Amino acid sequence: MILSRIAAVCLMGFASWAAAAAPDRPLSEQANDSSTRGGVAGLLRAQVLLDRAHFSPGEIDGQAGSNQRRAVRGYQQAKGLPVTGELDEATWAMLNQGAPAAVVSYTLTAKDVEGPYAKVPQDMMAQSKLAHVGYESLEEALGERFHVAPSLLKQLNPGADFTKASTVLQVPNVAELTPLPKAAKVVVDKSDSTLALVDANGKLIAQFPVSSGSEKDPLPVGQWKVVATAVNPTFHYNPELFWDADPAHAKAKIAAGPNNPVGTHWIDLSKPHYGLHGTPVPATVGKAQSHGCVRLTNWDVKRVAAALSPSTPVVMQE
């Protein structure tokens, strides 16, 4: 989760980004200024507001990447704006209308600092020996809670002591989001790497980036249904179902936890062995391939699960 080089001008069509470039203003203060429309601060603000509108940019990272463009396109479609994928004037104005602060304060608690935190082994047989597949660090835990790349969290809080309870941090304002209404249908689009929730009239109500299949494990195109949802699931590892599994591996159970291979939620589908689920590596969602299932960030799959009911149709298309 390391930020790559940030371009000097990240957004097209903006007359000025002077507010974002002011070196004497903290990043959090810049992001809370609606006139900040460029640079890391402007992108941070846009991504927080898109996330709050249920058009997820995936992990909030302050970069103008593919997940942000998908989120902007979905938002524009839902709001009846020209669908460009760019944060143009009309889109920026609508996003900011009545918007709350994009960045808020959070005080670390003793529980936050204490954890426990432990390194998670990559080997599945080693993982199967763990009683809980938890967070590796406080920064990772806070990243999930506030939907933010740990590196950007550090950038928001230069010099902050993450080992001390009572430390006040600046974090994206996404801890409490308006619940989604129940969706009438789910549409997973492999060509766009998105999962859309639509209502009974076919209107787009939310969109999330996903990783959905690969050449060796293609997305199961067709119409399926939601069977059930498991929260904090145990992962039943069967190496026979994975073409790249270690030949020495055997069937095993991987304990629940945010770093479980399927994350914090499993939405079981009528297609055997397939589901919508979370991930221990949110930065890869929408950018890496999967083993055929539909992978979302843990925070996004939680929102999706709450909006679905048993028998909700799930359409998978290329």
More confident residue, 248 or 95: 95
Query: What are the sequence ranges of the domains in the chain?
Result: 11-178, 185-317
| Calpha distance 20→31 (Å, rounded) | 8
Percent of the chain with pLDDT over 90: 78
Mean pLDDT of the chain: 89
Whole-number pLDDT of residue 292: 57
Summarised one tens digit per residue, pLDDT across range 122-178 is 998 899 899 999 999 999 999 999 999 999 999 999 999 999 999 999 999 999 899
The DSSP 8-state label assigned to residue 240 in this structure reads G
| Calpha distance 19→154 (Å, rounded) | 21
Residue 144 carries which side chain, given as an amino acid letter?
E
Whole-number pLDDT of residue 178: 93
Inform me whether the pLDDT recorded for 8 exceeds 60. Answer: no
Contact 38, 30 (CB under 8 A): no
| Predicted model pTM | 0.88
For domain 185-317, give the CATH superfamily: L,D-transpeptidase catalytic domain-like (2.40.440.10)
| Calpha distance 134→148 (Å, rounded) | 18
Inform me whether the pLDDT recorded for 14 exceeds 50. Answer: no
Contact 312, 236 (CB under 8 A): no
Inform me whether the pLDDT recorded for 11 exceeds 90. Answer: no
More confident residue, 108 or 287: 108
5 CB-near residues (< 8 Å, 6+ apart): none
Whole-number pLDDT of residue 288: 64
- Which pLDDT band, with edges at 50, 70 and 90, does 76 fall under? very high
Chain-centre distance of CA 164, in angstroms? 27
Summarised one tens digit per residue, pLDDT across range 19-36 is 334 557 999 999 999 999
For residue 57, is the peptide bond before it cis, meaning its omega torsion is within 30 degrees of 0?
Answer: no
